[in-house]
Amino acid sequence: MTTSSDGPAHKAPTPAAGMHSARPRFAAVDVGTNSIRLLVVEEREGRLEPLLRLGESCRLGEGLDAQGIISRDAEERASRTLGRFLRRARSLGPRRIGIAATHALRSADNGVEVAERLGRGVGVPVEILSAEEEALFVYEAAREALGTDRLPEPCLVMDIGGGSVELVRGEDGQVKHWLSLEVGCVRLTERFLPSDPPGPQELERLHEHVRTSLEGYPHLLEGVVGGAGVGGTLTALAALDLGLERYEASRVEGYELTHEAMERWSDRLTGMSRRDREAMAAVGSGRSDIIVAGCAVVLEVVRRSGLSKLVVSTQGLRYALARRLATPLAASSEGEV
């Protein structure tokens, strides 16, 4: 799997090994079902400025839907990625490091044991977030990134991951309702889309499953006036719609992705082979096989909410985690360096 930067970040002097930086710095790691993402920020005049953003698709949740456990191979991939990311983070002298894991480790029968081994390997505990904690982090990150001008309320914030999808309804700056559904890209792809490209019957079963999964939540989805989306499916769709030759987080951040554009790109990607999708810089090898399933979920959520567009944000869970690390109380529960 390929490691990639999320785009340009501030180039800061590297502290000597084992030293803290002059300005407070914090490192947050999001261990997801498909990808592991790192963010290192520096506090300047009350703001947290990104110094380093990295992401790698190591597919921790590979085979989880069928087997119910994290496989040894997947754990080893995650361990290597986590170790490499933590070495990069520590070279920048952070005061604290936090690692948060989501659906894969939360739902796997051996998730706690795997989290403990991963944490021992890097010397920082891996915290497994509850579905509610993940949803709250997602809303906090989107609201902080976009503000009420770009994300009027009542709003719907969607984070589509590899194992689950978090949906949050925000009203008056607070979470009104939230939902976590096991309709993530990796899970759906492994269950419904074995062919390359997927066949008509496979797609029909996929879409029926997604439709059924989203039935019965009008209090969450109806009547919203603002919508935001985070996660690799949506950032990839935004980059495709922008015509980017390489992924640039600064251009994707805040991009308004229309319902029509989502449908157009979904149709195009569904008819392509995995190799052809992989050749598209905005998709890449880590997402080429799962983006079709991701599009199915995005389109059904948008259809049920009645939103004509989603504002895409690159600032997901790791940004909310970084803000938590920067608060004085974080020192008692997160990894000191």
Structural domain contains residue 214: yes
**CATH code (residue 252):** 3.30.420.150
Same domain, 38 and 119: yes
Residue 138 lies in a domain: yes
Alpha carbon of 133 to those of 98, 168, 178, 187, 327: distances in Å?
A: 15, 11, 10, 21, 17
CATH of the domain at 71: 3.30.420.40
The sign of the dihedral angle between the CA atoms of 325, 337, 37, 248 is: positive
**pLDDT at position 10:** 45
b/e burial code for range 131-146 (CB count within 10 A of at least 16 → b): bebbbbbbbbbbbebb
Q: Are residue 184 and residue 75 in the same domain, yes or no? A: no
Do 297 and 199 share a structural domain? yes
Instruction: Count how many Cα atoms sit within 13 Å of the Cα of residue 22 in the half-sphere of its side chain.
Output: 4
Question: What DSSP line would sit under 131-182, residue for residue?
Answer: HHHHHHHHHHHHHHHHHHHHS-SSEEEEEE-SS-EEEEEEETTEEEEEEEES
Residues sharing a CB contact under 8 Å with residue 28, sequence separation 6 or more, in sequence order: 38, 39, 40, 41, 97, 98, 99, 100, 318, 319, 321, 322, 325
Report helix angle 291-305 to 185-192, nearest 10: 110
CB burial of 245-276 (b: ≥16 within 10 Å; e: otherwise) equals eebbbeebbbbebebebbeebbeebbebebee
Co-location of 269 and 154 in the same domain = yes
**Cα distances (angstroms) measured from residue 309 to each of 66, 82, 242, 247, 302:** 34, 35, 15, 21, 8
pLDDT score, position 247 = 86
Q: Does residue 19 sit in helix, strand or coil? A: coil
Same domain, 55 and 97: yes
- 96-101/25-31 β-pairing: parallel
DSSP 22-84: SS-EEEEEEE-SSEEEEEEEEEETTEEEEEEEEEEE--TTTTHHHHSS--HHHHHHHHHHHHH
Q: Domain for residue 318, yes or no? A: no
81 shares its domain with 186: no
Residue 319 belongs to a domain: no
All residues at 6 or more sequence positions from 140 whose CB lies less than 8 Å from its CB, including other chains: 320, 323
Instruction: Give dist(CA 7, CA 190) in Å, integer.
Output: 30
- 166 and 248 share one domain: yes
Q: Are residues 142 and 247 in the same domain?
A: yes
Q: Is the dihedral of CA 203, 65, 179, 153 positive or negative?
A: negative
Per-residue pLDDT of the chain (337 residues; tens, 9 = 90+): 444 556 445 444 445 445 566 889 999 999 999 999 999 999 998 889 999 999 999 999 999 999 999 999 999 999 999 999 999 999 999 999 999 999 999 999 999 999 999 999 999 999 999 999 999 999 999 999 999 999 999 999 999 999 999 999 999 999 999 999 999 999 999 999 999 999 999 999 999 999 999 999 999 999 999 999 999 999 999 999 999 988 898 999 999 999 999 999 999 999 999 999 999 989 988 899 999 999 999 999 999 999 999 999 999 999 999 999 998 654 444 555 5
Residues 298 and 156 in one domain: yes
Q: Could you list the residue range(s) of the whole structural domain that residue 27 is in?
A: 3-130+324-336
pLDDT value at residue 328: 66
Contacts of 82 (CB under 8 A, 6+ apart): 29, 31, 36, 99, 118, 121, 122
Q: What is the pLDDT of residue 244?
A: 93
pTM score, two decimals? 0.89
Question: Other CB atoms closer than 10 Å to residue 19's CB: what's the count?
Answer: 10
Whether residue 152 sits in one domain with residue 265: yes
Specify whether the CB–CB gap between 17 and 313 falls below 8 A: no
The answer to the question of residue 17 being in a domain is yes
Distances (CA, A) of 68 to 62, 65, 179, 185: 10, 6, 21, 16
- The reply to whether 146 falls in a domain is yes
Does residue 24 belong to any structural domain of this protein? Answer: yes
Q: Are residues 105 and 188 in the same domain?
A: no
Question: Considering the domain boundaries, does residue 317 fall inside one?
Answer: no
What is the tally of structural domains in the chain?
Answer: 2
**214 and 75 in one domain?**
no
